[in-house]
Amino acid sequence: MMTTSFEQQPHRRLNPLTGEWVLVSPHRAARPWQGQVEPVAGEHLPAHDATCYLCPGNARAGGHRNPDYAGTYVFDNDFPALVTGTPDVRHDAAGGLVVAESVPGICRVVCFSPRHDLTLSQMTHEGVRGVIDTWCAQTSELSAHHDIRYVQVFENRGAMMGCSNPHPHGQIWASGDVPNEPAKELATQRAYFSAHGRTMLGDYLAYERTAGERLVVENEHCVALVPFWAVWPFETLLVATHPVADLPSLSGDARDGWADVLRRLTRAYDRLFDVSFPYSLGIHQAPCDDDPHPEWHLHAHVYPPLLRSATVRKFMVGYELLASPQRDLTPESAAERLRERGATRESRDTGAP
Ligand code: H2U
Ligand code: ZN
């Protein structure tokens, strides 16, 4: 348990993966709140939408047509942020103050299901397992490219997160650099592994399993918890129970375990405010740079913007933008609320494909 005085008094918590602090002000959570927590009528979507650029058989921008796919479907993004074959150029002026360099890369879109009206939380176990298998296969394929050093798998869900289309899909951006967030985690995990000979997240997971108060859903392969240093109100961290460095290293059983936790967690999120819960989800895996990565422990972050209801979101502005992230709701109470809604182990045959 936490030192009792921290339950009421302002304090800051360290994120050992990034080396950054978050300010926690639990006493503010008790302040009067006039807003209602009300269910929002869900948008009714058709199973197939003739105007959707991700539905089977439909045309996309640029003239491509999607095949009549049955499971997942991957295509090269028609508006990629990164492209292959960019000339290798570096600009360094003003004694290192004005620096730019070229970044080659490949951007893909992953349709999770042919059904326009589903989310990960509503798909069957087999459907979500198919998504994980696709992430694994894409990671293997993209990391084999000689100019790729990092493969970022992610999903932006919901209009609140800037997602342009409700059709269940995610993206993969593979790049020639190791981007900011994984680069921070590489440095901290490396330092921890060289000091202790064990992975940072393996030791952290052992601590959380004993403490119990931040656990949300788990099985023998994957644990979802609200990290001690969570910034977003209902942020979660998914950690592999057996340390592996990347998605392709997950065994078949472990992929089933991740599918089970992903489904139960996204269902718990949907039940929290009785709304199809928006979030950004991303897998953090080892860089594919030919170095061994015994320090890297496969994990995923889920960052949902909602704070008090389906319509009240947290904004990262003011102090957060200029000084440090801050939260009122403690990670422990967020975990308790999610745990209550994710307690049941779902039957494998509920849901849709
Ligand atoms: P969101 O996940 O943020 O909604 O983005 C969907 C992606 O789909 C976006 O990166 C791509 C956009 O470039 N896209 C296509 O590749 N082809 C299309 O016909 C429309 C959208
Ligand atoms: Zn669609």
Q: Is 163 in the pocket of ligand 1 (CB under 6 A)?
A: yes
CA–CA distances in Å: residue 166 to residues 113, 257, 274, 281, 313: 12, 26, 17, 15, 19
Cα–Cα dist 247/146, whole Å = 19
Q: 79 C-alpha to center of ligand 2: Å? A: 18
**In 3-state terms, the chain is what percent helix, strand and coil (to 5)?**
30, 25, 45
What's residue 309's pLDDT?
85
Which among 225, 256, 302 has a CA at the least distance from the CA of 128? 256
For a mutational test of ligand 1's pocket, the pick from 49, 54, 65, 78, i.e. the residue with the most ligand atoms closer than 8 A to its C-beta, is 78
What's residue 7's pLDDT?
80
For a mutational test of ligand 1's pocket, the pick from 52, 83, 106, 109, i.e. the residue with the most ligand atoms closer than 8 A to its C-beta, is 109
Q: 46 C-alpha to center of ligand 2: Å? A: 9
What's residue 142's pLDDT?
98
Q: Is 53 in the pocket of ligand 1 (CB under 6 A)?
A: yes
CA–CA distances in Å: residue 241 to residues 218, 222, 262: 9, 5, 14
What does the DSSP 8-state code read for residue 253? H
Q: Could you give the number of structural domains in the chain?
A: 1
Q: Which CB contacts under 8 angstroms, 24+ apart, belong to 36-39?
A: 36/309, 37/273, 37/308, 37/309, 37/310, 38/309, 38/310, 38/311, 39/273, 39/274, 39/275, 39/310
Residue 128 falls within a domain, yes or no?
yes
- 49 CB contacts (<8 Å, ≥6 apart)? 55, 116, 167
Cα–Cα dist 48/103, whole Å = 37
For a mutational test of ligand 1's pocket, the pick from 79, 156, 169, i.e. the residue with the most ligand atoms closer than 8 A to its C-beta, is 79
Structural domain range at position 106: 45-342
What b-and-e string marks burial along 45-70, b requiring 16 or more CB atoms within 10 Å of the CB?
eeeebeebbbbbebeeeeeeebeebe
- 245 CB contacts (<8 Å, ≥6 apart)? 285, 286, 293, 294, 296, 297, 298
Question: pTM here?
Answer: 0.94
Q: Which residues are part of the catalytic machinery?
A: 169
What's residue 40's pLDDT?
57
Residue 21 falls within a domain, yes or no?
no
Neighbours of 308 (CB within 10 A): 15
Q: 163 C-alpha to center of ligand 1: Å? A: 9
Residue 202 falls within a domain, yes or no?
yes
Residue 174 falls within a domain, yes or no?
yes
Measured from the Cα of 165, ligand 1's closest atom is 4
Which CATH number do you get for residue 174? 3.30.428.10
Residue 27 tokens read as: 């006493």
β-pair partners for 76: 108
**Nearest-CA residue for atom 1 of ligand 1:** 163
Residue 37 falls within a domain, yes or no?
no
In DSSP notation, 260-302 reads HHHHHHHHHHHHHTTS---EEEEEE----SSS--TT---EEEE
Residue 138 tokens read as: 């894409």
What's residue 119's pLDDT?
96
Q: Which amino acid is at 163?
A: C
| Helix residue ranges per DSSP H, the chain | 125-143, 180-196, 200-211, 252-272, 319-322, 331-342
What's residue 161's pLDDT?
84
Cα–Cα dist 130/113, whole Å = 9
Residue 207 falls within a domain, yes or no?
yes
Residue 176 falls within a domain, yes or no?
yes
Residue 188 tokens read as: 């901290």
For each of the chain's 353 residues, which pLDDT tens digit applies? 566 678 889 999 999 999 999 999 988 866 655 554 444 545 789 999 999 999 999 999 888 999 999 999 999 999 999 999 889 999 999 999 999 999 999 999 999 999 999 999 999 999 999 999 999 999 999 999 999 999 999 999 988 888 879 999 999 999 999 999 999 999 999 999 999 999 999 999 999 999 999 999 999 999 999 999 999 999 999 999 999 999 999 999 999 999 999 999 999 999 999 999 999 999 999 999 989 999 999 999 999 999 888 888 898 899 999 999 999 999 999 999 999 998 655 544 444 44
Measured from the Cα of 78, ligand 1's closest atom is 16
Q: Is 78 in the pocket of ligand 1 (CB under 6 A)?
A: yes
Residue 32 falls within a domain, yes or no?
no
Q: Is 79 helix (H, G, I), strand (E, B) or coil?
A: coil
What's residue 42's pLDDT?
58
Q: Is 156 in the pocket of ligand 1 (CB under 6 A)?
A: yes
Distance of CA 146 to the CA centre of its chain: 26
